[in-house]
Structure 1
Amino acid sequence: MIRATINMPKLRTTSLSLPKLPTRVEEELDFRSGYVATQIDKHSNSPININFPSRNDTNVADPIVIAKLYAIMEAVADRVEMHKSIGEQRNNWNSLLLTSVNAITLTAATMAGIAATTASMGAPLVALKLSSTLMYLAATGMMLIMNKIQPSQLAEEQRNAARLFKQLHGQIQTTIKIGTPTVADVKEFMNKVLALDKAYPLPLLGAMLDKFPSSVEPAVWWPQQPKRQGKERNRRINTNGWNGKLEEEMRQIVGVLKKKDRTDYLRLGEKALKINKALAISGPLLTGLAAVGSTFVGSSSHGSWAAVLGCVAGALASVVNTFEHGGQVGMVFEMYRSNAGFFSLMEESIESNLKERDVERRENGELFEMKYPLVVF
């Protein structure tokens, strides 16, 4: 028998290492496996309980709130264009009416003077007297309308409205971009839009602001400040950017606003209002007297005085009209009233924050200090 042996080389065992999955892939698989296990656990009696991270959606803005804010922002942008266009239109009214009334008045005065030099002529005298009287009456009516609506003041109102609506548009954009808007923000912006519409109306008939009020009050274009209700805490006021020194500075600013800034602008506004009232009465009165004088030009008893009244009163009426509407006294009054309203808004905002006892419910103190004291000084 033949026996044979075969010697085979020994195989060396080596440890095989598999590449590890990336951390993000592992977390994703763990999340999905946990989610599947949890879903199975809900529909079965399995004792397996796998904890997995849940999403936190508390800082996600409500899409309905965002949609409402965008709708308000579109309406505000439309109002900016409307007030801007109407402001330009009413400024053109002021220029055109001023030029037209002065041209009519000076032409009537010229005709009255020519009629006085041709007192011996029959038909030409009557034609000149009649034309001068009619033109003076037309100028009187146009002056009454012009002085009633005050086109320069209307234009200034629309310029202020366009500026404030543009500012509101920027505030809504900032709230959408850097904040988490809520239903309270939507309500706040809606109230601001309605307050601006009431403060600066577009139509003339029935909604126009009184151009000659009995007393000068600051313009108000903001809604009433909400009453803050907070509980007093037993701690020092040193959070949210507020401290005792800042509060004292704010109280001093409120005192300056009440005693100096707002009072000064209201006093200047009263002076502008008185001047505007005097000019608004004098213009039509002078053209009316000139119309009466031109009627008696050429008469034997009142010829000289009628000629003087028809010419001089007409010339003075054009001067008064130019000073009132060319100088835009109504616009100056509205500017003073608006500035007084701006200081009133600052005063009301500062007092509203100081009355709030809980500093966390106030506006940030550092931001508040940058916004208001720098504007005043």
Structure 2
Amino acid sequence: MAKIQAASFIYTSDCKSFPYRNISAAISIPRLIKGSQISIPLQLRTTFEDETIIVPNLPQNKKSKADDFTGPDPLVIAKLYEILEGISDRVEMHKNVGEQRNNWNSLLLTSINSITLAAATMAAMAAATNIVGDAALALKISSTTLYLGATGMLSIMNKIQPSQLAEEQRNAARLFKNLGTQIEKLIAIGNPTAQDVKIMMEKVLALDKAYLLPLLGKMLEKYPSKVEPAIWWPEARRRQRKETTDLSNGWNFKLEGTMGEIIKVMKKNDKEDYLRLGEKALKIHKALAVSGPFLTGLAALGTTFVGHGSLPVMVGVFGGALATIVNTFEHAAQVGMVLELYRSNAGFFKFMEESIESNLLEKDVNRRENGELFELKVALQLGRSLSELRDLANISARDDGDIEEFASKLF
């Protein structure tokens, strides 16, 4: 039984100090039964000036579940950072090569047009009546030589298409930056595994294959027989599981229906429209690529017969002027770049189709991307709000896919 004695406060009228308080406590422990053993916890004694407080030891906290959590594998993180470093290097390389090839386009265009106009001027001077003899012969030879040089340079330029090469490198730099952002996000908020490392490596190699750096040797076909969407992602290899009716992970049957209708609209309108425009650009591209060297070669042939009538002079001068116009339209307007842009846009919609289909075909919803996040990502990529995306899907479902509106509002 405990006895507690407390002294009352003592006040002194002539003292300006604060009141003094004294608290003492005594604990009496009952007699123990002989032979019994009782363990008494140790006590902590804390002293604050004149006060003594006796505090019993607190029980130790049990180990929480968070202590059992193990972070991501350091080796996996190290591998992802190595991939990220390689991606950063590729971004810089593609950026530099793109700027270089864009400079090629400008410099070659200016040089070839200058040579062509100089050759046409010399052909006209050689046909002048007051220039005869060796002077006229020198002008004819110089004009023919310049035309032949312009023909060769223009043929090479049309073969490699610097403007198209520059657009390829710009696309590659943008896609590598996007991939680097995905890896940074995975490291920051995810728990990466060895499978994630494998997937990222496949994406890097697929981009390397789609957008080549070497100029000599294997290049992307500049004049294909048919325009196909650009492919820069690895082939999806997801296994299908047994279908279940209980959806989760942010997915429901309405969302699956919405995504299915979006695929129909993109495939029917957006992708087909860019492929159609790409076919038109390809026809113009081929015609201009053949016309330029043909006109400069014809002008070179005409200059060799200058002095034998008016027709050779007309061919030599007018052919050079027309070749300059064709060359300027082809390379200053960057028709090759426009063709590559159409291919890239068609590839973007094909990529979105495969991304949506891979999620819908995966019957194990836990292996899908989160449904709500995926819907938000699709809406942002198409330049729509969530309500606009759902309205588009509803209209497509109501009209059985026969809709004129494009899925994308960005391009």
Same fold (TM over 0.5): yes
2:246 matched residue in structure 1: 236
TM superposition outliers: structure 1 runs of 4+ over 4 Å: 52-55
Q: Shift of residue 163 of structure 1?
A: 0.4
1:27 matched residue in structure 2: 60
Name the amino acid aligned to 1:111.
Answer: M
Whether 2:243 is the aligned partner of 1:214: answer: no
1:360 matched residue in structure 2: 366
1:224 matched residue in structure 2: 235
Residues 93 and 13 (structure 1), Cα distance of their counterparts in 2 relative to 1, 3 Å cut: closer
What SS class does the counterpart of residue 14 from structure 1 fall into? strand
Moved more, 134-143 or 363-372: 363-372
Name the amino acid aligned to 1:315.
Answer: A
Check whether the contact 2:299–2:316 (CA below 8 A) recurs between aligned residues.
yes
Check whether the contact 1:72–1:190 (CA below 8 A) recurs between aligned residues.
yes
Name the amino acid aligned to 1:182.
Answer: T
Q: Shift of residue 249 of structure 1?
A: 0.9
1:82 and 1:60 map into 2 onto residues whose CA distance is 34
Check whether the contact 2:126–2:136 (CA below 8 A) recurs between aligned residues.
yes
Q: Provide TM-score, normalisation by structure 1.
A: 0.85
The one of 325, 332, 346 equivalent to 1:319 is 325
2:149 matched residue in structure 1: 138
2:138 matched residue in structure 1: 127
Check whether the contact 2:125–2:131 (CA below 8 A) recurs between aligned residues.
no
Check whether the contact 1:290–1:309 (CA below 8 A) recurs between aligned residues.
yes
2:337 matched residue in structure 1: 331
Whether 2:361 is the aligned partner of 1:351: answer: no
Gaps of 5+ in 2: 1-23, 29-42, 46-53, 383-407
The one of 3, 27, 41 equivalent to 1:15 is 27
Q: Which has the higher helix share?
A: 1
Q: Shift of residue 22 of structure 1?
A: 7.1
Q: Shift of residue 206 of structure 1?
A: 1.5
What SS class does the counterpart of residue 194 from structure 1 fall into? helix
CA RMSD of aligned residues (A): 2.0
Check whether the contact 1:69–1:172 (CA below 8 A) recurs between aligned residues.
yes
Name the amino acid aligned to 2:187.
Answer: I
Which aligned pairs between 1:28-177 and structure 2 lie closer than 5 A? 55-57=67-69, 59-118=70-129, 121-177=132-188
Name the amino acid aligned to 2:60.
Answer: E
Gaps of 5+ in 1: 1-11, 32-51
1:254 matched residue in structure 2: 263
2:385 matched residue in structure 1: none
Moved more, 145-154 or 239-248: 239-248
Q: Shift of residue 205 of structure 1?
A: 1.3
2:399 matched residue in structure 1: none
Residues 125 and 243 (structure 1), Cα distance of their counterparts in 2 relative to 1, 3 Å cut: same
Residues 245 and 136 (structure 1), Cα distance of their counterparts in 2 relative to 1, 3 Å cut: same
Name the amino acid aligned to 1:344.
Answer: K
What SS class does the counterpart of residue 82 from structure 1 fall into? helix
Check whether the contact 2:288–2:326 (CA below 8 A) recurs between aligned residues.
yes
Q: Provide TM-score, normalisation by structure 2.
A: 0.79
1:88 and 1:13 map into 2 onto residues whose CA distance is 86
What SS class does the counterpart of residue 176 from structure 2 fall into? helix
**Aligned length, in residue pairs:** 337
1:323 and 1:259 map into 2 onto residues whose CA distance is 32
Q: Shift of residue 13 of structure 1?
A: 8.9
- Structure of greater relative contact order (alpha carbons < 8 Å, 6+ residues apart): 1
Q: Shift of residue 207 of structure 1?
A: 2.2
Moved more, 189-198 or 242-251: 242-251
Alignment deviations for residues 148-205 of structure 1 (CA, whole Å, 9 cap, x no partner) = 0000000000000000000111110000010111001100100000000000000011
What SS class does the counterpart of residue 159 from structure 1 fall into? helix
Alignment deviations for residues 92-145 of structure 1 (CA, whole Å, 9 cap, x no partner) = 000000000000000000000000114761100110000000000000000000
Whether 2:291 is the aligned partner of 1:285: answer: no
Check whether the contact 2:242–2:364 (CA below 8 A) recurs between aligned residues.
yes
Name the amino acid aligned to 1:160.
Answer: N
